[in-house]
Structure 1
Amino acid sequence: MVDRFIGFATDIYREDEHWVPPLSSDVQRFMDPEANPYFAEAEIEHFLATDSEGRTVGRISTTIDPAYVKRFGKTGFFGWFECIEDPEVASALLRTAEEWVADRGMERLAGPYSYCATQEFGLLVDGFDRQPAVFQPHNPPYYAQLLAQAGYQPDFHTHTFSWLGERDSDAMARLVRRGDAVTDKLGLTVRDFDPEHWDSETDLIQDLLAASFADNHDMVPISRPVLHFQLGELQELIDPRLIRFVEYQGKTVAFSVLVADGNEVLKEAGGEITEEFLERYEALKAGVTGTVVLMIGVRPEYEGLGIGRVLIGEVAKVALGRVGSFNDVHTTWVHEHNWQSRSYMTQTGTEPVRTYAVYGKDLSQ
């Protein structure tokens, strides 16, 4: 079933020039309960829809995260949603997911989350005309209609943005100057991730992430095992210079995590590791110019000092080409109510590139 579940995406996107297939081996590992520690923290299931001739016509996953339920209420998630353009198939998939979570005491279903809010989530509803960066989901435009016909409405929207060094150099330089001024004023130290101490540095990220996202409206803190697994899976995309820690009076108070845009390389792989791809891999990797902001945060007790400006300034340095061969920065999801991040986007005149929605449905409907 796993091979059919993974392979079905190729059927959906065969004619979509913008879709970047993930490596099948990576997806298999992510879906493997023995490899991915998140399966020990949540209840997860996967479903396939087949037609009368046994052909796959849709897929979906379900998740119940006890930590999320305890904090936010009885909501289960659906994810990994792929479907042919047929409302009956989509409704059958979603009804299956609804029944599965309802049988386990849930009163609401929301998604897509694959598998939760600290992993890929959201349905693309605008911005279909370009290749997504890594961790930016992609789907056909008709998916939104399928969800609406099944009784789902948007709960909230998120957006992605891009800072392109050549296009936005003046704005980036201004952000760098502002960040450097705060660094000098407060006597801050800004340093790279130290790969020689991978475990302790990852633990530090986990601690900072839990603190800075403690009041987030839609996620629970990511656990140590899950973060170690996820960053370990990204090791090929991690340049230590793209992960920054800010230290103030001897304490690490803020961080940002950027990774190389692996989609620039994965596009050439076509979902499989071949000998030809391996021969080209190092050259392809060295030619990556894009980066993606995965996480950024400040310990709440240090907000108001301007340290956010320092982090944004460090990101702007990447867009200006001051870190290796990189000169473009893409974001993951910026929530519609995240006024701080949106303020920085406004200052640079940057418009959203892609818009996502998370959909929900009360199961009493």
Structure 2
Amino acid sequence: MTAHSQGPITIHPVKNKADLREFVELTFRLNRGDPAWVPPLKGEAFALLTPGKNPWFEHGKAQLFLARRDGRTVGRISAHIDELALAQPAEQGMGPGTGNWGLLEAEDSDTTQTLLDAAEDWLRVQGMHRALGPLSISIWDEPGLLIEGFDKPPTVMMGHNSPLYRGWIEDAGYRPVKQLLNFTVDIVEGFPPLVNRIVAAGEKNARIRIRKVDKRRFDDEARLIMGILNDAWSDNWGFVPLTDSEIAFVGKKLKTMVFEDLIRVAEVDGEPVAFMIVLPNLNEQLIDMEGSLLPFNWARLLWWLRKPKSKAMRVPLMGVVKSLQNSRMASTLAFMMIEYIRRDAVRDYGAKRGDIGWVLDDNQGMNAVAAAIEAKVNRVYQIYDKALGPDGA
């Protein structure tokens, strides 16, 4: 990641499809030598950035920038504003005047500084007085910069970046505001006796029912789960509500990866109050596909998705309604869902370990659950912010 030449760096707003293609392709060129980097599917990368395809643009706007030096593209960044994030209480991390940047790729520190300057200038013109990032593009996509855990590829839907970026971003005046943790746990042997006792007690409680999702009612189940999510996470740092069209978009994206025995809904007295989503690690397949399903990767992927075997399983989302949070019932439901899915994942999918993340560093409930099942932090992501003075300060 060093510059090939030392000419001036120029910034170019992405204006057309050719620019957008360059924006997407750059990440492949800069990361190809990293054995832990998993190439994203290019079709998904384009969809994320295209108004009309990604419903985030119904309440957000973005400007993409390319950095060039001596005719070569040497970096990229996005600057964006989410109207729903602006409407959140400031003490929860977002709020009025807070814009975002993300999707940073750069060959060197000078390029990084120039790109951040461009993103900050754009946010300032839009009336923002604080920059928070990286977010790619929403808090629900790939939040944070990887600062620990570079040695192994991430599991599905998690980001990976050069370890050099941390110093470059901090040199540009950014300070850490929040860490997101990813936990890993061996799931073959099962969990400690305390967890098994809690699960056994829950099974004797006639008020509790843990059920699998019904894929035949997929849209209804997706709305139900995301409704619980919007309630469960509403007090969390960085929370931005998911809209109906975003829920439908996420559901469509995940539908091929949804397996009924890997997603559980917990009911108490007949009311759905908690859920847990587990995904087989698609990255084990994507890592050598170079971002393309052509010519034959699509067939290989479809074959795998019929009944995937996956060494790792990822828990991207779980939640318990606010009215039950911090109660004994909440931890009982969490451990029951985790244990039921663990059994099926090991028996039917060949899973050896589970990844749980992202978890806010101050989320006491989830950190306690992770400690109880003896999970260990294996990746840490950091979100930064910086005040934007009116004169560039």
TM-score, normalisation: structure 2: 0.87
TM-aligned CA distance change 1:318 to 1:251, over 3 Å: closer
* Structure 1 unmatched runs, 5+: none
Distance 2:79 2:332 in 1: 39
Q: 1:132 — aligned with what?
A: 154
Contact 2:202 / 2:333 at 8 angstroms: preserved in 1? yes
Distance 2:301 2:192 in 1: 31
Structure 2 counterpart of 1:108, one-letter code: R
Distance 2:193 2:44 in 1: 37
TM-aligned CA distance change 1:194 to 1:185, over 3 Å: same
* Cα deviations by residue, 1:12-68 (Å, 9 ceiling, x for unpaired): 111101100011111112222111111111111211111122x11111111211121
Distance 2:281 2:361 in 1: 24
Correspondence list, 1:210-289, <5 A = 210-285=230-305, 286-289=308-311
Q: 2:348 — aligned with what?
A: 324
Distance 2:253 2:204 in 1: 36
Distance 2:119 2:281 in 1: 32
Contact 2:313 / 2:354 at 8 angstroms: preserved in 1? yes
Contact 1:298 / 1:308 at 8 angstroms: preserved in 2? no
2:376 paired residue among 344, 351, 355:
351
Q: 1:338 — aligned with what?
A: 363
Distance 2:116 2:347 in 1: 45
Structure 2 counterpart of 1:302, one-letter code: L
Distance 1:340 1:5 in 2: 39
Distance 2:332 2:270 in 1: 19
TM-aligned CA distance change 1:78 to 1:180, over 3 Å: farther
Structure 1 counterpart of 2:104, one-letter code: F
TM-aligned CA distance change 1:323 to 1:165, over 3 Å: same
Contact 1:258 / 1:291 at 8 angstroms: preserved in 2? yes
Distance 2:388 2:70 in 1: 29
Deviation of 1:164 (Å): 2.0
Contact 1:194 / 1:240 at 8 angstroms: preserved in 2? yes
TM-aligned CA distance change 1:203 to 1:282, over 3 Å: closer
Q: 1:42 — aligned with what?
A: 60
TM-score, normalisation: structure 1: 0.94
2:334 paired residue among 308, 311, 314:
311
TM-aligned CA distance change 1:40 to 1:231, over 3 Å: same
* Cα deviations by residue, 1:240-293 (Å, 9 ceiling, x for unpaired): 221111111121111111112110111132211123323433454422232211
Runs of 4+ aligned structure 1 residues displaced above 3 Å come to 282-285, 316-323
Structure 2 counterpart of 1:317, one-letter code: Y
- SS, match of residue 268 in structure 1: coil
Deviation of 1:78 (Å): 0.4
TM-aligned CA distance change 1:230 to 1:345, over 3 Å: same
- SS, match of residue 349 in structure 1: coil
* Structure 2 unmatched runs, 5+: 1-18, 89-94
1:57 paired residue among 50, 58, 74:
74
Q: 2:163 — aligned with what?
A: 141
Q: 2:11 — aligned with what?
A: none
Q: 2:40 — aligned with what?
A: 22
Structure 2 counterpart of 1:57, one-letter code: V
